Amino acid sequence: MTHPAITLPTLIAHRGYSAAAPENTLAAVRAAHEAGARWVELDVQLLGDGTPVIWHDAEVDRCSDGRGNLNTLTWPQAKVLDVGSWFGDAFADEKMASLEAMLALLNELEMGVNMEIKVNKGRDPIELVNRVLPEMLDALSPERLIVSSFDVDALKHCRTLAPKEELALGVLFGNTPREWRALCEAVDAFSIHPHWPRLKRDQADAMHQAGYQLLCYTANDPSAFNNRWEWGIASVITDEPAIFKRFLDNQRSK
């Protein structure tokens, strides 16, 4: 049994094209598509009433005109928030994206997604996976979906719901732990997603040799990242896909 036949892009737009539009919104995904990105990275978690939404923080304060914890909101309360004006007037009245709406847009644009299972403090990873994974598997082909998380319990539960030939799992690391290999083997991981400034060359070599795809987050300076490509990096997760693309195109044309 093998993993899905995923053709990884060089660039994955972090939370959509989050340098050009409010993060994790439908607008940010449309902007990524318009900039030529074929994949996006997004975050999913639950509102207090169990509705799955595309959102990163435990609170709504930073990226909306509301206040308070995401887990205290119902969908009728959340869907009226303005989640765009904080970024710029052009995005005034942008609405929080439900998982359902985001999956529909991804299908409309024929884009792939690295969906992070975002388990914020005090939230139940099993409940989150049970609610969101079947919906994602039903909407997207295995070649267009990677599910990632920092939370090992979430990843292990994902694997109980779908075998590796039907679902690619990615393990997120800030500092790569010594037991990285065992953690990845425990979930039949497809990919490892390290924080790029903290990744060491010998770690990257070992991961690559072990057969894992490397997707590094979050790199926004293509010249600073440039020597990492020779480490066997498959993809960069970036807020700045257009800047990265221009840099790489210029490098290739030399």
Residue 56 pLDDT more than 80?
yes
- Quick one: pLDDT band at residue 57, thresholds 50, 70, 90? very high
The pLDDT of residue 1 is 59
Instruction: Output the CA–CA distances (angstroms, integers) from residue 113 to 73, 123, 142, 202, in the order listed.
Output: 26, 23, 10, 28
The pLDDT of residue 253 is 86
Tens of pLDDT, residue by residue over 103-114, are 999 999 999 999
* pLDDT (average), residues 2-24: 97
Q: Where are the domains of the chain?
A: 11-253
Q: How far, in Å, CA of 21 to CA of 135, rounded?
A: 26
Fold of 11-253: TIM Barrel (3.20.20)
Tens of pLDDT, residue by residue over 151-188, are 999 999 999 999 999 999 999 999 999 999 999 999 99
φ/ψ of 43, rounded to 5, equals: -120, 140
The pLDDT of residue 252 is 86
